[in-house]
Amino acid sequence: MKISLRKMLCMILAVTMLLLLAGCKKNAEQNTDSEGEVSMEEIADEQAEGTEDYDNGIYFDEEADGAEIVAKKKSSDEFVGSWKATSGQSIYQYGNVDIEVKEDGTWSGNVSREPLTGKWSETDEGLHLTSDLFDCDLMFTEDNVLVMRYSPNEDGEYLTTVLTKK
């Protein structure tokens, strides 16, 4: 019996595919029967917990691309307190921003689920906050809106986020 090379390769390919399919089916059965394995439903629940609703209906003109921010000088006392970002844009960019500016020249907060502490200093436009991981500027606009400006790449481009008093 003479078998051509083409037929032989087709048979080898078919046998290989059957073995792979059988192996996948066996692994799937083992994963569903094993103790301690995570079900697909549990994975979906975990993924749902990690997602945020970016379109929460809260928008600020100051956060729009190309928005011109004109700072209004305020005393450092005006910045003292607890502040939170609430817009959909801020959730998209950071996940969360919670900052407390303290009278003693320090600040603490949580940005992108990362606890932060540092010092602040006055600038011509407002405050400059520094920490080991995150530096930003806070300033009030002409409309008395507090904005946080952060440059992730230090290229002169800023992410502008509106903060509201807690």
pLDDT per residue as tens digits for the range 48-107: 444 456 788 899 999 998 899 999 999 999 999 999 999 999 999 999 999 999 999 999
Position 34 scores a pLDDT of 45
Binned at pLDDT 50, 70 and 90, residue 16 comes out as confident
**Measured distance CA(66)–CA(61) in Å, rounded:** 10
Mean pLDDT, all residues of the chain? 82
- The structure's pTM equals 0.68
Residue 129, C-beta contacts closer than 8 angstroms, at least 6 positions apart: 99, 101, 107, 118, 119, 120, 135, 136, 137, 138
Structure tokens at 8: 């032989």
Residue 107 gets the label, from left (phi > 0), alpha (psi -120 to 50) or beta, of beta
Gyration radius (Cα) of the chain, Å: 27
Under 8 Å between Cβ of 131 and 117: yes
Position 5 scores a pLDDT of 61
